[in-house]
Structure 1
């Protein structure tokens, strides 16, 4: 069973998102309650996950700050909708800037290209929310996706003894996507507890742009990952899991991606070069050297330090604009186990190359 049945078709950047929305896909019906982003498993009632998938789900839910209930519904198929004219809501320059700043921190929008993000911003509507306003109510049909600009919102889920607050959004976050993706009622109730502003995106535009874009991007990731030599031991199902949690990062020419000497921590990544080229820089006895070797599309870097837990042994700098797929430490350790043997074999080769550089002339 593919992990895609559990995870939404996007990945979250923990560096840019402080709080992962407890999606209003699981909203409790409560008045005067807070918004809860309980992330749900989109699993079929007939399928049973294996232990690895369950562990991945637990990690995913933990990263999103709250666990979602199961959503026993079929994933929305973006190809079912015909392309129609996109909605445009007039905005001032200030509104566009604020919305762009907020959107930059939202995981769900990370895979959108510039045109797609512009279309989403065009279609979003600003809403002023007052204390005690109910933004979404558990059990209602999903009509909008919401991005928080400011304010405080509490999430409630109905229990046997009444509504229970499970999460609070404070000036950041998003919610409401699961009901739109899986055609399910709201799984939680979200209530405002401090006046603020949110941006709403209607169901049709959400599906027309965001769901389609993420489904397409995931397919592209799968196709790309199948060409990466170091992943040759992964089967189709394992590749799909990697694609589901892989995030995309872009770097301008001359930008440092990895710095020699940096310690490995929870925010460290392994990188798969999707497009562009990079140079390897070494600091040898205080002198900066540049290797003749060029990293190109389809190559992986940064995995040695993640395996050995040693500091980064080289600096990687983009020699032109590049695009990388990245996996954090957790995903790397969980998903790339079948590749560890190949990676371990390469460690000795890398060490030999680095040691040889100290004896050779390296181009500046």
Structure 2
């Protein structure tokens, strides 16, 4: 089983897959690779072989191999040519067997190819305090973009950077990274209190999940720290309204926010991955709060940018509709 598993993983990494899916049917297990946006068929396994392979994978990830009627998730470090974090998640099905998904994450953050359309974002890292908010659906590249920005600060500005994530999935040398572990009493709330005593210049928070985290994030950004974090929202306006719903006041947002981005990773006709985003500047954020939560005319939405790319022949209309 070890040989079979290593072979599958090698093939997935070779094809730049981010996930391996094991999808059971009545007689066969379909193996598919997530490559960019597409779930690509790879091969099939007989059910009795898959059962043995699943037991091996669950054991490696520290899961209960005797439990088959409950969802489980675990992770472990796997070494091939490089070191990878593998997150293995299982789900019981009505067929009486479990499906499984393996998320493949390089242990150390690998900077994507330089992109001209994010160079101006690096200027935000020179700010002494304030909040930079990233939004968008899962898989839109929010964490990758935040990592790129803190890497720029580490390499060019010589600042003390601390991250709080749940969990830390990619390591960045020279940056202090804290993993949330609620069972061990390491929560966002007490981590905030601890890191503020460690003289950080920049704080990266994995995600604003509730009103408590929102409060800490805003307070830190108003007290002499540059804070980067994410929130799930479909657009920039939605990100601001979510924070208001969490109890953050207009005044606090007006004072703390430097920029709000909402982004997508899209696949072009040439099968290239391209980052596009809408962005509210500080001036536009001020306009928003001073004009009954209306966006200024100068603000270009994702819809506008996707339409422009469609007209230029970079993407098709079907692709545009998928990302809106």
Normalising by structure 1, what TM-score? 0.25
Asked which structure has the greater RCO (Cα within 8 Å, sep 6+), the reply is: 1
Q: Greater helix share, 1 or 2?
A: 2
Normalising by structure 2, what TM-score? 0.27
